[in-house]
């Protein structure tokens, strides 16, 4: 009931639908006893006494089923609207939470798990739960109506029928607990299976290159068999309810028939008639079906709640991204567009308590409009430093200032509006090229999109496409080369026109000629803007105003390209290694770690 109360706000919105659905179920339930009730006069007055006109019973039956059919259609339609409306509301709430979730969520849960919860679990759970609840209402009304009719016919024999109720309730409670546990285990197994598929889709080239198909197939087979075993357990728990309920009903029915046949009268001193007996037995037999469905209804309710509960857990456990600027103690937000002065004051970052420091007491001052290059071995802390600025990472010590104001005092949307980022991994949406370049813009300026594409050395290629910038990219622009996707990301950054550019190996996927053309455009775009560059290619950093050399989370050297070579330290060694690699690989002549 607690879970149902939590879900009710999402499904109560379509009030007319609930009124129609419950009303239709009530009509169906109330007309249920009418069927055996028609048998009594048909047998007694029609066949035995022959006092019933021929047209009466067919007319009553046709009218009855017209009413039931209309009610059934209205109930099903209202049910579909209720389920769809609630599903959309819950799914939208979950997706909104996902968009604003703390970034730690994406390190704890995989993309397939989140997608499965928001898309499939919500839809499956909504359909099953709403259908089951309305079936519960319909069958509950039907049982009450039939029991009332049985009491009207013979209250003594009806007491035997009432044995069904506690027995069915016990069956429902016992089997539902087991089914709930198995359903939760099945959800986890489904996530594991989906993750194996996701991994193999993303790494399909690596799998084939290493001839790992057989090993991956065995992983998939093991998880599939585990999911199969859980499915069998769920069916076993679900299927047991029906025969048990039928057995209870059969025992009650046998007792009723035996007692009725042993008596010369049926009910309150009235003579036994064929119609009375058949009507009672018919109503009792009709009671078995809704009673059995009541025993079964716990299964879809359990599955629906288990599916939707994952969404509730996601909402409960996923905290929104913290924004200290929203508190009353936060200072006044700075101007809408930053000048671009960045200060790191003894900043430290640890991702976990036991891990080594990703940044260890780093202090750095970047003047407005300055171009800073960050170099160093892998794991030196370059990406962590860049991720600090838009608050993708929170410092565990020290302070980060933008234009003299702690970035924690900036409202997150306003802070992130100051940065344009091109990362190592490019992600494109399944939308038009124009929409991808103008991502986040309220209105797409097509001339500006075209200008940014040309600056990123993509203008001619886009013009050659049949739909031009209206071409839909598909899944992560799969039909574009790696270099073309990288240039699309650069065009996106240029379109944003932010005062600070963050380039995390932004030209790593470009060939030498494309890099030269894009670098020219970037140099124009960087004019008057503060720029932080993480790059391995010498051509990207040799003209930087200052090069920061990092190692093990600390700044060990800084200066211009020439100054660092004269210093003959870590940068000079890295530069020498790059030159040695260039002698062996001509295309790598401009590469530096």
State pLDDT tens for residues 363-409: 999 999 899 999 888 888 888 899 899 888 889 999 999 998 999 88
The tokens of 363 are what?
A: 């202090």
* 265 has a pLDDT exceeding 50: no
Q: Return the percentage of the chain with pLDDT > 90, whole number.
A: 8
**What mean pLDDT comes out for the span 235-251?**
72
> CA nearest 291: which of 32, 536, 573?
32
Full-model pTM:
0.62
Section 205-223 average pLDDT? 79
d(CA 562, CA 371): 16
Instruction: Report yes or no on 593 lying in a domain.
Output: no
Answer yes or no: do 154 and 299 share one domain.
Answer: yes
Q: Who's near 353: CB < 8 A, 6+ residues apart?
A: none
Question: Does residue 42 lie within any of the structural domains?
Answer: yes
pLDDT band at 172, cuts 50/70/90?
Answer: low
Give me the CATH number covering residue 457.
Answer: 3.40.50.300
Quote the pLDDT of residue 578: 61
**Same domain flag for 294 and 374:** no
Residue 344 lies in a domain: no
The verdict on 121 and 22 lying in the same domain is yes
Residues 242, 376, single domain; the answer is no
- Residue 344 binned pLDDT confidence (cut-offs 50, 70, 90): very high
Which of 157, 76, 85, 90 shows the shortest CA–CA distance to 120? 90
Residues 377 and 519 in one domain: yes
Are 444 and 312 members of one domain?
no
- Is the confidence at residue 332, as pLDDT, over 50? no
How far, in Å, CA of 382 to CA of 368, rounded? 20
pLDDT of residue 363: 93
Which of 123 and 348 is assigned the larger pLDDT?
Answer: 348
- Kindly state whether residue 469 falls inside one of the protein's structural domains: yes
Asked whether residue 268 falls in the same domain as residue 373, the answer is: no
Structural domain contains residue 119: yes
- Per DSSP, the residues of 504-528 read ESTTTT--HHHHHHHHHHHHHHHTT
Domain containing residue 118: CATH number = 1.20.1560.10
Alpha carbon distance 147, 140 (integer Å) = 11
Residue 215 lies in a domain: no
Nearest-angstrom CA–CA distance, 214 and 207 = 10
Both 376 and 292 in one domain: the answer is no
Domain that holds residue 529: 369-381+416-588
pLDDT of 88 over the 50 cut = yes
Task: List, for residues 113-135, the tens digit of each pLDDT value.
Answer: 777 777 777 777 777 777 777 77
**Is 331 a residue whose pLDDT tops 50?**
no
Per-residue model confidence as pLDDT tens digits over 437-485: 988 888 889 999 998 888 888 888 888 888 889 988 887 787 787 778 8
Does 88 share its domain with 167? yes
pLDDT at 510: 60
State yes or no: pLDDT of 86 exceeds 50: yes
- Contact yes or no for 358/309 (Cβ under 8 A): no
Question: Per-residue pLDDT tens for 96-108?
Answer: 877 777 776 776 7
Q: For 505-531, what is the mean pLDDT?
A: 70
Q: Which backbone phi and psi does 391 adopt, to 5 degrees?
A: 65, 40
């Amino acid at each position: 009931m607690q879970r149902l109360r939590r879900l009710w706000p999402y499904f109560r919105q379509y009030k007319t639908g609930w009124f129609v659905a419950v009303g239709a179920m009530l009509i169906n339930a109330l007309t249920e006893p009418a069927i055996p009730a028609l048998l009594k006069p048909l047998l007694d007055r029609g066949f035995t006494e022959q006092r019933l006109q021929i047209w009466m019973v067919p007319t009553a039956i046709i009218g009855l089923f017209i009413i039931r059919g209309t009610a059934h259609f209205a109930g099903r339609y209202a049910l579909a609207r209720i389920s769809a409306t609630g599903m959309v509301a819950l799914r939208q709430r979950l997706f909104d939470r996902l968009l604003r979730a703390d970034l730690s969520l994406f390190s704890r849960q995989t993309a397939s798990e989140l997608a499965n919860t928001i898309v499939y679990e919500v839809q499956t759970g909504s359909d099953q739960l709403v259908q089951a609840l309305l079936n519960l209402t319909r069958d509950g009304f039907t049982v009450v109506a039939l029991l009332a009719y049985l009491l009207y016919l013979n209250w003594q024999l009806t007491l035997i029928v009432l044995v069904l109720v506690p027995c069915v309730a016990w069956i429902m409670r016992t089997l539902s607990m087991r089914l709930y546990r198995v359903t939760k285990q099945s959800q986890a197994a489904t996530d594991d299976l989906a993750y194996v598929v996701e991994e193999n889709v993303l790494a399909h080239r690596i799998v084939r290159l290493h001839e790992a198909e057989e090993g991956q197939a065995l992983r998939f087979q093991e998880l599939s068999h585990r999911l199969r075993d859980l499915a069998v357990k769920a069916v076993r728990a679900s299927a047991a309810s029906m025969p048990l309920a039928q057995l209870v009903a059969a025992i009650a029915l046998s007792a009723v028939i035996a007692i009725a046949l042993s008596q010369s009268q049926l009910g309150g001193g009235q003579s036994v008639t064929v119609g009375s007996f058949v009507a009672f037995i018919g109503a009792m037999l009709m009671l078995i079906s809704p009673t059995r469905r009541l025993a079964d209804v716990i299964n879809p309710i359990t599955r629906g709640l288990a599916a939707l509960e994952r969404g509730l857990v996601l909402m409960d456990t996923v905290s929104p991204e913290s924004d200290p600027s929203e508190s009353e103690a936060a200072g006044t937000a700075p101007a809408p567009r930053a000048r671009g002065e960045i200060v790191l004051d003894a900043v430290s970052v640890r991702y976990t308590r036991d891990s080594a420091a990703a940044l260890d007491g780093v202090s750095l001052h970047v003047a407005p409009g300055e171009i800073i290059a960050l170099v160093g071995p892998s794991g030196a802390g370059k990406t962590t430093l860049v991720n600090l600025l838009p608050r993708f990472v929170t410092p565990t010590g020290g302070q980060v200032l933008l234009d003299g104001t702690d970035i924690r005092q900036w409202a997150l949307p306003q802070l992130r509006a100051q940065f344009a980022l091109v990362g190592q991994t490019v992600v494109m949406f399944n939308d038009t090229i124009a929409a991808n370049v103008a991502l986040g813009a309220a209105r797409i300026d097509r001339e500006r999109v075209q200008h940014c594409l040309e600056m990123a050395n993509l203008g001619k290629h886009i013009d050659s496409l049949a739909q031009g910038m209206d071409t839909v990219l598909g899944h992560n622009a799969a039909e574009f080369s790696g270099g073309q996707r990288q240039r699309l990301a650069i065009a996106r950054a240029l379109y944003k026109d932010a005062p600070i550019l963050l380039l995390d190996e932004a030209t790593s996927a470009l060939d030498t000629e494309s890099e030269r053309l894009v670098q020219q455009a970037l140099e124009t775009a960087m004019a008057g803007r503060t720029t932080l560059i993480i790059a391995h290619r010498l051509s990207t950093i040799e003209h930087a105003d200052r090069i920061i050399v990092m190692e093990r989370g600390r700044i060990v050297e800084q200066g211009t390209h020439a100054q660092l070579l004269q210093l003959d330290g870590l940068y000079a060694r890295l530069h020498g290694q790059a030159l040695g690699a260039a002698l062996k690989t001509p295309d790598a002549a401009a590469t530096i770690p």
